[in-house]
Amino acid sequence: MTLRQKENRSGWLFVAPAALHLFVFALVPILFSIGLSLYRWKLYRPEKSFVGVDNYTYSLRDPAFLNSLWNSLKYALMSVPSGIIVALAIAVMLNQKMRLSPFFRTVYYLPAISSGVAISMIWIYMYLPESGFINTVLSKLHIGSIDFLKDANWALPAIAFMSIWTGLGPRVVLFLAGLVGVPQTLYEAAALDGAVGWRAFRSITLPMLIPTTLFVVVTSTISAIQVFTPVYMMTKGGPEDATEVVGYHIYNEAWTSFNTSLASAKSFILFVVIALVALVQFRMTQKQLEGHSTF
């Protein structure tokens, strides 16, 4: 056996555990799920019939599924831009050379390592009408009590608002990494031309952070469209299906109604939607990157 063959064999052995894991826990389930989506089949029953794309066409006409998709997109629109702006603002502040910066970096990351279930439980109490923390603050401002989680107009924005805080940690870390990568010389050169403060931020920091922002926007949008835990814990899709997001809808389709083949079809439609949204975001940001390439 030649050295190259030996190296090849070692290489394959090294990647084998990860490849096997991917095969068993990713590829096989995906392939199984694709097959499942082409049948009318409740997993626990032996009888099944091939229906082709019927599950897909049914899903695209299912008002409950379309409503859940729309809710997820609304949730993403509510939570992603605001979440990114807040994260960027905090990252810029934490990037200053302050004594307590490391402490605050830890504090802002805490929600990311906390249990989503526990966080949701705490926010249920925060949102309680009248006696909840947020309504107590609102009453001090002479604003009437809002039943955030029981009001169809408020429930989804309330969960989106919570997500700004819960999603802060990873976004701040990414922006901090991006900020560290901005060459100090650019700021020094700009300062000589009189561009400091907001002007420097707008003309140097923001353009230099476009790749980071692109990554944060895409990953945040994907996770926003897939939101599940806070809905499951706080509203169960209510009131009046106002928070029935697509992840929760598919979960119920599969494990409450046991329509597993329909749930699989809906999952692949969701996959296409997410891929399209990500593609649009990539294209838009690519144009921005090209626009700034002459900076």
Partner 1 sequence: MLFGLLPLIAVGGWSCGKPEDHRIVLRIATWQGAGEGNDFDKLVEQIYKDFERDNPDIKIMIENFPGSGDYVPKLMLTHVANTVPDVTVLDASSSALFIKNGVLQDLTPFFDKDPELKREQFFENTLQAGTYQGKLYSVPVDFTPMVMYYNRDMFDAAGVAYPKNGWTFEDFERTCEALKAKGKKGFVVSTWMPGWVMWLWNNNGAVLDPSGTKANGTLDSPQNAEAIGFLKNLVDKGYAPTLSQVQATGAEPFPNGDVAMAVSGHWSITGYKSAKGINWQHLGVVSMPTRLKSPVTVYYESGLGIGNGCRQPEAAWRFIKHFCSYKNQMRYNSSGIAIDARKDVASERAKESIEQDFLNLVPGARPPTGTQVEGYGFVEQVGEKMMDSVLSGRKTPAAALKEMADKIDREFGK
Residues interacting with partner 1, by CB under 8 A? 24-26, 28-29, 32-33, 36, 43-45, 58, 62, 64, 125, 128-132, 145, 147, 149-152, 236-241, 252, 255-259, 262
Alpha carbon 271 to chain centroid distance? 14
Q: Is 68 or 213 the residue whose CB approaches partner 1 more closely?
A: 68
Can you give 95-141 as a three-state secondary structure string?
CCCCCCHHHHHHHHHHHHHCCHHHHHHHHHHHCCCCCCHHHHHHHHC
Tokens in use for 167? 């999603």
Alpha carbon 167 to chain centroid distance? 8
CB of 24 to partner 1, least distance (A): 6
Q: Is 54 or 111 the residue whose CB approaches partner 1 more closely?
A: 54
Q: Is 14 or 255 the residue whose CB approaches partner 1 more closely?
A: 255
CB of 277 to partner 1, least distance (A): 23
Instruction: List the one residue out of 225, 219, 218 whose CA is nearest residue 78.
Output: 225
CB of 241 to partner 1, least distance (A): 7
CB-based contacts of 262, cutoff 8 Å, min separation 6:
37, 55, 58, 59, 253
Q: Is 144 or 197 the residue whose CB approaches partner 1 more closely?
A: 144
Q: Alpha-carbon distance 93 to 178, whole Å?
A: 14
CB of 255 to partner 1, least distance (A): 4
206, 84 contact by CB (below 8 A): no
CB-based contacts of 245, cutoff 8 Å, min separation 6:
68, 71, 72, 75, 227, 228, 231, 237
Instruction: List the one residue out of 48, 238, 79 whose CA is nearest residue 168.
Output: 79
Q: Is 148 or 175 the residue whose CB approaches partner 1 more closely?
A: 148
Tokens in use for 31? 């392939």
Q: Is 158 or 174 the residue whose CB approaches partner 1 more closely?
A: 158
CB of 278 to partner 1, least distance (A): 21
Q: Is 29 or 291 the residue whose CB approaches partner 1 more closely?
A: 29
CB of 274 to partner 1, least distance (A): 17
CB of 166 to partner 1, least distance (A): 22
